[in-house]
Structure 1
Amino acid sequence: MSHSSKRREIIKALGTGALGLGALSPAFSFNILSSYPLKANHRIAVIGVNSRGLQHIQALAKIPNVTIAYVCDVDAKALANGIDLAVKSGSVKAPIGIKDFRKALEDPTLDAVSIAMPDHWHTPAALWAMQAGKHVYLEKPGSHNPAEAELLVDATKKYGKVVQMGNQRRSWPRVQEAMQELHSGAIGRVYYARAWYTNTRKSIGHGKLSPTPEWLDFELWQGPAPRKDFRDNLIHYNWHWFWHWGTGEIVNNGVHFLDLARWGLQVEYPKSVYSSGGRYQFEDDWETPDTQIASYQFEGGKTILWEGRSCNARDINGMGSGVSFHGENGTLELLNNSYKIFDNGNTLVKSAEPTSNIVVNQQGAGFDMDVDHFQNFIDAIDNGKSLISPYPEIKKSVLMCHLGNISYRTGRALDINTQTGRIERDVDAMKLWGREYQPGWEPKL
């Protein structure tokens, strides 16, 4: 049988769940699982492998003493690709392909999961993994709404598992150096940060009701979200722009840069938030703003400004994404894994070039830039090493993004409790704090 024919057979089997654990006899399942060295390494399930999860596979494959034991996805084609990539990336054994990740959680020899699912799945999947005794590497944003962000923090405390947020920029060497420069006074007192992200995303058109593709389990894809009919412009990426499943650009990519801005300014929760913008570029089904400004005021006389342009990629300071910090004595521009410091006369004082020769993808992470972040996750499991992006800390940055969306959707400024991050004196805005769930799928501690 040719490789392509064999792969088609695998996809067909995966589409019917034939390679999931539920289809294996008890003896066969035991033989597969017992062939892995128990506790000699970390056995990890990668959940969601159509896009970002493939990069998880590549990064994990580079870490010693890690075995990719499962690859999980509701898309049979993506699942087959994920298995192929794991093998090509150096896996000693092909991981088990499984459609429903909850079956993988039943495996007592599984140590951890890495989650790269759509936003509406992040918190429920992470919660169920912790309840099953697994550690969690969780892609940004980790939550679909503020209530889920709070729930996830409570879960990390209750279950005592390692939960690393996929804000991998916190592990980049030049980013860490830039923060040391800021915190040691390189530009004096820092009072303002500007974060931005631009792209040239195309129209998603007007989706048509259509039969669900045979390779997709749409019921399981929707999971905790209340059921809607399948439309042909939703999957795989366009769900980001629908409030029902996604969270828009400010959460999709803004969380990286607003997190760096908050880290650099050494602030916690804002005292007020105001956001405006709209869907300007195209007339289509896209619900979230393609152009958005969000202003965050903090105690101590500090401000963070977000600018997101999904469909107009004119750069700022020569880069399509980044953060600039402004202080009494100058400016620090943080542009991916490099930075520059200018004095108040606009003279370049210091320039730190990228530490890697591999180009960093402007629309995501450079493949080489993920490994250290995953290694930190593994080290925290092994020996209690401090996490670089523990979710309870990164939740503050995630909440900034959610608050920006709530301000945008209500059309007004929000007053925020600086101790809790919660909205004050606005009952209507608090209606957007959580969401409705499909009955029986509600995440609970």
Structure 2
Amino acid sequence: MKTNKFNRREFIKKSSAGAVGFSVAASAKSYANILGANDRMNFAAVGVHGRGKALILAASQQKNTSMSAICDVDERESDIAGKFVKDKFGKKPKFYTDIRKLLEDKDIDAILIATPDHWHAPMSLMGVQADKHVYVEKPCSHNPREGELLVEARQKYGKVIQMGNQQRSGLISIQAMKDIQEGLIGDVYYGKAWYANDRKSIGTGKAVEVPSWLDWELWQGPAPREEYKDNFVHYNWHWFTNWGTGEICNNGTHEIDICRWALGASYPKTVASSGGRFHFKDDWEFYDTQVANFEFDGGKMLSWEGRSCNGLRQYKRGRGATIHGTKGTILLDRNNYIAYDNDQNVIKEMAAKDISATTDTTGVGGLDVYHMSNFINAIKDGEKLHSPIEEGHISTLLCHLGNISQRVGRKLNLDASNGHILNDPEAMEHWGREYAPGWDMKV
């Protein structure tokens, strides 16, 4: 006779195959009948120093969940994050430094990934290959090819992969999209996204001995090896090309995704980006000031303005988006939605019930809870996923294309069916990356 535990794993595995893009027949009631008391979702969190704690918190606020394991290359998190998990779930989790060891645990249903960017896609692939569902923070990839591979992996292994662009699950954002579709501001044609912060200089790093608490080899993982310096860990890796993806992927992904969603746009046909590292002279390899423009078929476009080191707000907001149409404009951020007619009169206004952080490094808030709930319901009940990897990849790709245009210093022409760069071999050299020996991604 099969045990309840086996039935639970088999049901979750089978129900997830239809969870992306449409609802499967199994309802919450039928799921409960099949699984009974054993329907608890068992999570593991990977990368728990910063953003990972927000995901742990979001998972703890769902019904019938557990967090049996955490993984981090900073061994101090065994106590720090371990205590955090115990406070939220009532039991201290197992602690791993090596994701490969964690994935051997067959009782784990899903992994929550909040590691540095260079780990996102390889770890997601490893997760689905180990029969786990995956919630991966944005950006879902370090380069365009990795995003394509994750889409292939989702299709091959049938697991749920949700990207952490959590505003897709925001109630006011969903309402704004419904209003746009119903013609509240007419035909939409332009989206403007922005992000402004006052980040300080990261200085010039010095080669030092690796801290005793850090497994530098595993931290680097799939990335080519570099000597450890004192300004890499834990946050400044964002600004180094070997591991990070710059501000446009770090934060621009959110509002670029909102604009693309509102426009009903898919892959762009052109992208042009300009900017530079203007505010400080230091080790920062990306851009503290960047303006990227994307044009789509059908007479639509969006732009993103990023200012990492000059925090002057637009519309009194450090981040947000405006959606422009023939009958008016919508101003939308994580916590508020305001619609204007063409005479600048407010015609609709909504505020989020649960506030979310905007420009700090952790971003805890109600949106995390909603997005995690959608992820769990997609696994259990086949609820339509708000940010399936197919959509997450496209929005992330726009950000990568902005960086590529910036690097080569010119406008890129694209295949609007898949986002590939046309007639520019130099630009296409940035489509993928070099991996450390033994870490190539293979679907």
Please confirm whether the aligned pair reaches a TM-score higher than 0.5, indicating the same fold: yes
CA distance in 2, matches of 1:48, 1:211: 22
CA distance in 2, matches of 1:141, 1:330: 31
The correspondence for 1:199, drawn from 188, 197, 203, is 197
Q: Give 1:57's aligned amino acid.
A: I
TM-score (norm 1): 0.90
**Shift in alpha-carbon separation, 1:359–1:132, aligned structure 2, 3 A:** closer
Instruction: Give the 3-state SS of the residue equivalent to 1:76 in structure 2.
Output: coil
CA distance in 2, matches of 1:50, 1:253: 18
* Residues 292 and 308 in structure 1, CA contact (< 8 A), matched pair in contact too: yes
User: Which residue is equivalent to 2:42?
Assistant: 43
CA distance in 1, matches of 2:366, 2:189: 33
* Residues 119 and 222 in structure 2, CA contact (< 8 A), matched pair in contact too: yes
The correspondence for 2:353, drawn from 352, 355, 361, is 355
Q: Does 1:333 align with 2:350?
A: no
CA distance in 1, matches of 2:146, 2:181: 31
Instruction: Please report how far the alpha carbon of residue 367 of structure 1 lies from its aligned counterpart in structure 2 after TM superposition.
Output: 2.5
User: Which residue is equivalent to 1:247?
Assistant: 245
CA distance in 1, matches of 2:78, 2:232: 19
Residues 133-158 of structure 1: CA distance to partner in whole angstroms, max 9, x if unpaired? 11101110110000101111100001
CA distance in 1, matches of 2:110, 2:329: 41
User: Which residue is equivalent to 1:75?
Assistant: 74
User: Which residue is equivalent to 2:19?
Assistant: none
Structure 2 stretches lacking a partner, 5+ long: 1-35
User: Which residue is equivalent to 1:121?
Assistant: 119
Instruction: Please report how far the alpha carbon of residue 318 of structure 1 lies from its aligned counterpart in structure 2 after TM superposition.
Output: 1.4
CA distance in 2, matches of 1:40, 1:359: 29
**Shift in alpha-carbon separation, 1:38–1:341, aligned structure 2, 3 A:** closer
**Shift in alpha-carbon separation, 1:191–1:293, aligned structure 2, 3 A:** same
Instruction: Give the 3-state SS of the residue equivalent to 1:370 in structure 2.
Output: helix
Give me the CA root mean square deviation. 1.3
* Residues 277 and 287 in structure 2, CA contact (< 8 A), matched pair in contact too: yes
CA distance in 2, matches of 1:40, 1:169: 27
Instruction: Please report how far the alpha carbon of residue 324 of structure 1 lies from its aligned counterpart in structure 2 after TM superposition.
Output: 0.1
Between 1:404-413 and 1:337-346, the stretch displaced more is 337-346
* Residues 141 and 255 in structure 1, CA contact (< 8 A), matched pair in contact too: yes
* Residues 50 and 79 in structure 1, CA contact (< 8 A), matched pair in contact too: no
CA distance in 2, matches of 1:38, 1:347: 53
Residues 62-114 of structure 1: CA distance to partner in whole angstroms, max 9, x if unpaired? 1122110101100012332111101111x132110111121111011111101
* Residues 51 and 363 in structure 2, CA contact (< 8 A), matched pair in contact too: no
Instruction: Give the 3-state SS of the residue equivalent to 2:287 in structure 1.
Output: coil
The correspondence for 1:397, drawn from 395, 398, 408, is 395
Between 1:399-408 and 1:385-394, the stretch displaced more is 385-394
Q: Does 1:301 align with 2:291?
A: no
Q: Highest relative contact order (Cα 8 Å, sep 6+), 1 or 2?
A: 2
Structure 1 stretches lacking a partner, 5+ long: 1-36
Residues 175-234 of structure 1: CA distance to partner in whole angstroms, max 9, x if unpaired? 111111111111111111100001000000000000000000000000000100000000
Instruction: Give the 3-state SS of the residue equivalent to 1:71 in structure 2.
Output: strand
Instruction: Give the 3-state SS of the residue equivalent to 1:424 in structure 2.
Output: coil
CA distance in 1, matches of 2:356, 2:177: 22
* Residues 292 and 303 in structure 2, CA contact (< 8 A), matched pair in contact too: yes
User: Which residue is equivalent to 1:168?
Assistant: 166
Between 1:222-231 and 1:180-189, the stretch displaced more is 180-189
**Shift in alpha-carbon separation, 1:284–1:267, aligned structure 2, 3 A:** same
CA distance in 1, matches of 2:243, 2:196: 22
CA distance in 1, matches of 2:324, 2:282: 38
The alignment covers a number of residue pairs equal to 407
CA distance in 1, matches of 2:156, 2:225: 30
User: Which residue is equivalent to 1:264?
Assistant: 262
Q: Give 1:328's aligned amino acid.
A: T
